Copies of this chain bind each other. A is one copy, B any other.
Amino acid sequence: MSETAQPARRRTRGGGGAARRAERTAVRFETAPAIRRRIPDLEILDEEALEIIERNAETVLEEIGVNFVDNPGALELWREAGADVRGERVHIPRGLARSLCATAPSQFTQVARDRNKDVEIGGRNLVLAPVYGPPFVRDSEGGRRYATMADFEKFVKLGYMSKWLHHSGGTVCEPTDVPVNKRHLDMLFAHMTLSDKAFMGSVTEPSRAQDSVDMCEVLFGAHFVQQNTCMTSLININSPLTFDSVMMGALEVFARNNQASIISPFIVGGAMAPVSVAGTLAQVLAEVMAGVAYSQLVRKGAPVIFGAFVTSIDMNSGAPTFGTPEAAQITYGAGQLARRLGLPYRSAGSFCGSKLPDAQAAYETANSLNTGLLSGVNFMLHACGWLEGGLVASPEKFVLDADQLGALHHMARGVEMDENAQAMDALREVGPGGHFLGCAHTQANFKTAFWRSEVFDYKPFETWSEEGARDSATLAAVRVDKLLSDYRQPEMDPATHEALRDFVARRKIEIDGRSG
């Protein structure tokens, strides 16, 4: 591996005495390795159901087809691949999309600036990334308001500090105080410098995807980026069955540069897909197969993820609803379809419709997080921080959810069955009517035996009352403040930092010049 192929942090080790001293004195924050499931997936569809859905998806692709809008290049690629292209409608012959999907890797590594935080996406792994996209922020101090770059940085810091979060994410909120055509630069700069975890690139314009690749080349080295996946970005399909040129343009940039894309239908059931689970699953599979197949037409072997963002709808109000049983069924079913297709799977998250980090939010979120774990999700975007159907990011909800992600880690470990875990000595030592708290086995194992929340209140009622009878939203606000005051920026080679800053400044001038 050449020197430039080394990521920033490794290069720092070869830096001057100041850098070495900084590294020695830096506060370290632990990040757990990605969840490696030692429990089975829940498979709610039988073979017959799966075959019906797969057959229907092929029928959708062949008979109905998909639209690639404003994208003559894509239509040409499809034509060459053997599709029947009529106008912008691409009819994909039965079997073609699936066979094209076969060249996508079933698992890939996304590197992080701290190489100890590289993430393996696929297989039995589950990588957790924070909320993505909210234009608003709600916190206990300021209520609900438009998000700013200061909020964005706060979320990146909280993600960096979270033990259970493996990934820094992307648009953790929309920094509405920075113009749309430049904010991707500030967002990437924040992820690259305030955290050392893996992150996502910009997808709102092909040129911004290119900026993302270019900034990665500054951070990791140009050669390294072409040989390694340094970003996993979110490419939404315009459901039903429509692939717009902005999203496809970004996908093309990422695929050509060996960067990963989540190819993800965005479905509110009953609106963007049929009102039934089986119908939605056929559509999801058709859309993902078309999108993944296209990524492989752009570059064979480009890393991609089978995405499924699916919610149900409240037929009274038309509002999307979250953490519902129908969304769970689709999430389980799509996981089975993704595994049969041999692709990493993205779904679930801290989804909720509630406006506050209250009981509604937590029921909805817990339902979705549990579904995510048990449906075999490999990459969980939005794993913490969602409120109000994704319109709002909340720091309190962020730390409450991130805490629950620890429970997923422990659950996924499965059940130890070695002699120590069998604890027969403890059972013999204590016997009928005894107490296990003091026995040797408990003393030897209690520190690691049980997951423990770092936000919840476990105190007796009297103590809790004396301390102000605080609810969990209030306790979460306390934790947010503590984490932010403990935050220390991970060290970075000053030259790299400066190069990134220069890149951002130069591009902003270029963009202003172009739009001015």
Contact = CB atoms under 8 A, between A and B. Distances in A.
A450 B400 CA distance: 28
Contact of A415 (B45, B315, B432): B45
Interface string A54-90: 0010011001111100000000000000000000010
A290 to B, nearest CB: 10
Contacts of A409: 325
A404 B363 contact: yes
A66 B433 CA distance: 9
Contact of A39 (B42, B67, B423): B42
A499 B399 CA distance: 57
Contact of A432 (B241, B427, B428, B471): B241
Interface in A138-152: 144
A433 B241 contact: yes
A432 B89 contact: yes
Contact of A279 (B353, B370, B421, B460): B421
Contact of A423 (B274, B411, B456): B274
Contact of A282 (B404, B427, B449): B427
B426 A279 contact: yes
A56 B391 CA distance: 52
A275 B446 contact: yes
A283 B427 contact: yes
Given A49-B417, A422-B52, A436-B274, A456 B326 contact: no
A367 interface: yes
B450 A321 contact: yes
Contact of A411 (B329, B356, B464): B329
Given A40-B44, A370-B366, A432-B240, A422 B314 contact: no
A416 B278 contact: yes
Interface string A16-44: 00000000000000000000000110111
Given A321-B452, A354-B457, A427 B365 contact: no
Interface string A425-467: 0111011111111000110011101111101111111001000
B325 A451 contact: yes
The copy count of this chain in the complex is 2
Nearest to A464: B355
Interface stretch (A122-130, A196-204, A265-273): A265-273
Contact of A325 (B325, B410, B432): B410
Contacts of A415: 44-45, 49, 277-278, 329, 333
A43 B95 CA distance: 34
Contacts of A361: 359, 362, 472
A449 B326 contact: yes
A317 B355 contact: no
B278 A421 contact: yes
Given A354-B457, A457-B355, A276 B407 contact: no
A217 interface: no
A469 to B, nearest CB: 7
In this complex, the interface size class of chain A, counting residues with CB under 8 Å from chain B, is 35 or more
A12 interface: no
Given A417-B48, A423-B279, A450-B321, A355 B313 contact: no
A414 interface: yes
A422 B282 contact: yes
A286 to B, nearest CB: 8
Nearest to A39: B44
Contacts of A486: none
A424 B424 CA distance: 57
Nearest to A447: B315
Interface string A372-413: 001000000000000010010000000010001001111101
Contacts of A328: 411
A89 B446 CA distance: 29
A275 B449 contact: yes
Given A358-B359, A432-B64, A276 B452 contact: no
Nearest first, the 5 closest Cβ-Cβ pairs linking A and B are A279-B423, A366-B366, A362-B362, A274-B423, A325-B411
26 contacts: A39-B44, A52-B422, A56-B422, A64-B427, A271-B436, A275-B445, A276-B445, A278-B423, A279-B422, A279-B424, A282-B423, A312-B451, A316-B458, A321-B452, A321-B453, A321-B458, A324-B451, A325-B408, A325-B410, A325-B411, A325-B451, A326-B450, A354-B456, A359-B472, A360-B362, A361-B472
Given A276-B420, A366-B367, 16 more contacts: A240-B427, A241-B431, A242-B433, A270-B450, A271-B437, A275-B436, A275-B442, A275-B445, A278-B415, A317-B458, A317-B459, A358-B358, A359-B476, A360-B362, A360-B471, A363-B404
